[in-house]
Chains A and B, each alone.
Chain A
Amino acid sequence: MKLIIGLSIGIAFGAVLQLGGASSYRKIMGSLLLKDLDIIKLILMAIAVGTVGIYALDLVDMANMSIKPTYVAGIVIAGLIFGVGFAVAGYCPGTCVVAAAEGKTDAMMTVLGGLAGALLYALLYPAFSGLIGVTNYGQITFASALGVDGIWIAIPFSAILLILMFKVLKDRYD
């Protein structure tokens, strides 16, 4: 049953990303060059809706959350590496799968590169696992850190994101 749910949600997710232009090299690079902010705004909109929804589910104990541990040093280094890959490839690990499905051969190379990168990480894991142990604060969220129900942070946070999307972030076309 879970397999069918996964497949169904995946099909909808892939279609929405494709229809929204998130599998387009030009749209992704437009956002990273801060010229056409649609993809950044798409992500912010997903977060604005998702945050309130997840913490509303949490109020009735229906959210199957999965909080990733916060190991500051490792995550900063990882983010910097990921960011270079994001701009060089022009895709991210999910959008390259969708772009590959569109017949874009460069995105297929990104998928293959991704498989190689993940394998390289698996081989070097003993050398990097120490990085996960330092500055590790565990499964910490702004809700748990402040000791309040997440919904009281989620609502103002989403409101700020909406202001960002509709009032602050403007495209700067040439």
Chain B
Amino acid sequence: MQDEPVISWKVAGAMVGLLLILATALVKPLGVSTQYVVTDAVLLHSAAPALAESNEYLSQYGDKEDWGVGYGWMLVVGMFIGGGISAFITRRFRSREKASLPSMWRSEFGESTPKRMLHAFVGGGLLLFGARLAGGCTSGHIISGISQLTIGSFIFGIAVFASAIFTARSLYRGRLAS
């Protein structure tokens, strides 16, 4: 199957752990979700500087790098480049046809591309709203935070998986029943 991982969870997990150690030694632990705010801040600042600077939350992140980008943002750009290169080399890059519809989704929800796009967009909105309220996401809280033994990160991880497992089971009721 085109989707089958190239390396096992053991190797991939250990490598993520080593990258986390390297990042912590050189700069700071891994984190992704802050960079969505930084991107919003930079974009809004270039369009309407006064509006961006008047927002308390955006200016917290915007001022730090003088409304530009820093280490964390380059990390996320790197993830995009690295993911693209390895997908290309291992021939897992998706052609445009049906690129938006995972086969597992199709078997449960049908062939509607707009429906999948809506779920993907709304899901993304909930992810980042939650991540910003918590102060981190899967990388910043669950992987980096728990690795630093942060108590709040354990709490976040438990809440996330309880909610995600419940939601996934509700979405795929049909598949689970059959």
Contacts and interface: CB of A to CB of B under 8 A. Distances in A.
Judge: A and B partners, yes or no: yes
A117 B124 contact: yes
Interface in B9-33: 9-33
A137 B56 CA distance: 23
Contact of A13 (B21, B75, B129, B137): B75
B45 interface: no
Contacts of B148: 51, 54, 65-67, 141, 150
A125 B121 CA distance: 21
Contact of A46 (B20, B77, B99, B104): B20
B133 A49 contact: no
Categorize the interface residue count of chain B. 35 or more
B111 interface: no
Interface in A52-97: 53-55, 57, 62-72, 74-97
A160 interface: no
B120 A110 contact: yes
Specify which of A24, A44, A96, A139 lies most central, judged by the most chain B CB atoms within 10 Å of its CB.
Answer: A24
B48 interface: no
Given A54-B24, A102-B83, A113-B124, A143 B159 contact: no
A171 to B, nearest CB: 11
Interface in B143-157: 143-153, 155-157
A109 B5 contact: no
Contact of A79 (B5, B33, B128, B160): B160
A103 B96 CA distance: 7
Given A50-B20, A85-B127, A87-B167, A14 B144 contact: no
Given A84-B164, A140-B151, A6 B159 contact: no
Interface in B58-90: 58, 70-87, 90
Nearest to A143: B149
B158 A79 contact: yes
Nearest to B92: A102
A139 B57 CA distance: 20
B50 interface: no
Contacts of B29: 54, 64-66
Contacts of A101: 79-84, 87
5 tightest Cβ-Cβ pairs between the two chains A and B = A10-B78, A83-B163, A45-B13, A89-B123, A79-B159
24 contacts: A4-B74, A10-B75, A16-B12, A19-B86, A20-B12, A38-B8, A42-B9, A51-B148, A53-B21, A54-B21, A54-B147, A64-B27, A79-B130, A82-B164, A83-B161, A83-B164, A87-B123, A87-B165, A92-B138, A105-B99, A105-B117, A117-B127, A141-B148, A141-B151
Interface of B: 3-33, 36-37, 39-41, 44, 55-58, 70-87, 90, 92-96, 99-105, 116-117, 119-153, 155-169, 171-172, 175-176
